[in-house]
Structure 1
């Protein structure tokens, strides 16, 4: 399918990536470890330059643990297919390996861009409700590619694994959950660190945007080598990146509104 067809699909399906699919999970109810200084990840280590602390329980953590269990089986399938592509019985595994191979042939930003572009084109945007008959279904990469569709966390998970297999270290790859402070709802993206800067790989666009240039979103959770972590409270990203300042009262109001809307399915 041509790029223009997928572009139209993105425009038509943008609301499918609002992470209403996180709806049944009360994001405010996720529990973090006590905020002892030794348990906080250093501020400079994570995308958006905010400290984060590990979650020990909660729906979001459970979702990620479920994906990890799926990945155990998929990594075996990928290893078998990589060793014998002619005998591979999984078209999804072959497609995923082709994406990774194309990325490995490139360097630096071009490698990240190859994965972002290829996975954006390989998956059509569709809500979990439309595809699975229920909300908040997290799908591993081969399952997503086999279905041919998914919502934003499915794209982010596939990119996260593809980046790792393409040669990025665990310390340089993340999945970030962001709160849309304008329209409400949550959105998931993959993030990769290159030359000390975090780039976001978003299913809504082909161009990769540095975290400092993201607007009108508040990072809430980050997933990576340390498991699922909650970001420390921080200002709106528009404030961080130096756009028009927002009065503290307005920021507090937006934050409270975002928290209230996280209690219900969008």
Structure 2
């Protein structure tokens, strides 16, 4: 006898049994996803795994837009010098291109490490106040390589451009502004994604550190090829006090829109 010939009560029971079977199957399928995998599903693709929102105003965005305008001109100059080194009249461009050359012949982590190490050694740490007589000046790479000095954001910007010229996709590059919870100041680093992991290129160290291993910093803002974003999803402050906490990189929304750095 066919299903649709059953009396009404039996049809209700059969339908309920079918729905229960389907629900049980869904639960069994869901149980195949481990808690760790579920965490990854809900994790942002940005450094530190935190979600971001695009910002369209403020001091930090204004500074980055100023740098972007200078980068347009400098990329043309670097391309011309890259194509004809003998006629390049910019010693700063030649020094910068030499770093890019050494990185291009390497692959993966070695390429990132070469740029981090070489730019750390090429620039003397100097505060904006000491160098420019102003607080918080963001310089383009050729300006920084002309003076041979800069602070954290100048290192980060130079690495950001050098990594692109060395063949790293802009989609895999960021500049991240963090709050140093020990020194009580803001700090900027370049970051590059390799094998789905974000590595920190920091002027304070030669080693590349994965974002999950960064301690005593709170990520505030992230800059990509499209502009500036603010980190969202703040973590309770109690998590920051535990060095072993996987959420030790909490967001500080009280931070100013611009950098407030020393010779960092």
Please give the range of the TM-score, normalised by the shorter of the 2 chains. Answer: 0.7 to 0.9
Gaps of 5+ in 1: 1-41
C-alpha displacement at 1:242, in angstroms? 7.5
Aligned to 2:22: none
Is 1:218–1:237's contact at 8 Å kept on the other side of the alignment? Answer: no
Report SS of the residue matched to 1:57: coil
Runs of at least 4 residues of structure 1 off by over 3 A? 236-246, 262-266
Is 2:187–2:259's contact at 8 Å kept on the other side of the alignment? Answer: no
Equivalent residue runs for 1:28-107 within 5 Å: 43-107=43-107
Aligned to 2:222: 222
Aligned to 2:163: 163
Aligned to 1:154: 154
TM-score between both structures, scaled by the size of structure 2: 0.76
1: CA distance between counterparts of 2:197 and 2:104?
A: 20
C-alpha displacement at 1:236, in angstroms? 7.4
2: CA distance between counterparts of 1:263 and 1:123?
A: 19
Report SS of the residue matched to 2:177: strand
Gaps of 5+ in 2: 1-41
C-alpha displacement at 1:162, in angstroms? 0.5
Is 2:185–2:260's contact at 8 Å kept on the other side of the alignment? Answer: no
C-alpha displacement at 1:43, in angstroms? 4.3
Is 2:136–2:260's contact at 8 Å kept on the other side of the alignment? Answer: no
How many residue pairs match? The answer is 218
Equivalent residue runs for 1:184-203 within 5 Å: 184-203=184-203
1:77 and 1:51, CA in 2 relative to 1: closer, same or farther beyond 3 A?
same
Aligned to 1:208: 208
Aligned to 2:14: none
1:208 and 1:238, CA in 2 relative to 1: closer, same or farther beyond 3 A?
farther
2: CA distance between counterparts of 1:52 and 1:101?
A: 34
Report SS of the residue matched to 1:179: strand
1:143 and 1:259, CA in 2 relative to 1: closer, same or farther beyond 3 A?
closer
2: CA distance between counterparts of 1:161 and 1:233?
A: 29
RMSD between aligned alpha carbons? 2.8
List per-residue Cα deviations over 1:132-167 (Å, max 9, x = no partner): 011111000011000100000000000000011111
Is 1:70–1:140's contact at 8 Å kept on the other side of the alignment? Answer: yes
1:235 and 1:166, CA in 2 relative to 1: closer, same or farther beyond 3 A?
same
C-alpha displacement at 1:239, in angstroms? 4.1
1: CA distance between counterparts of 2:127 and 2:174?
A: 22
Aligned to 2:37: none
Report SS of the residue matched to 1:71: helix
List per-residue Cα deviations over 1:42-76 (Å, max 9, x = no partner): 84321000000111100100000000111111011
The structure showing larger relative contact order (alpha-carbon pairs under 8 Å, at least 6 residues apart) is 1
TM-score between both structures, scaled by the size of structure 1: 0.75
1:265 and 1:114, CA in 2 relative to 1: closer, same or farther beyond 3 A?
closer
1:238 and 1:95, CA in 2 relative to 1: closer, same or farther beyond 3 A?
farther
C-alpha displacement at 1:180, in angstroms? 1.3
1:104 and 1:263, CA in 2 relative to 1: closer, same or farther beyond 3 A?
closer
2: CA distance between counterparts of 1:106 and 1:208?
A: 15
1:168 and 1:62, CA in 2 relative to 1: closer, same or farther beyond 3 A?
same
Is 2:221–2:229's contact at 8 Å kept on the other side of the alignment? Answer: yes
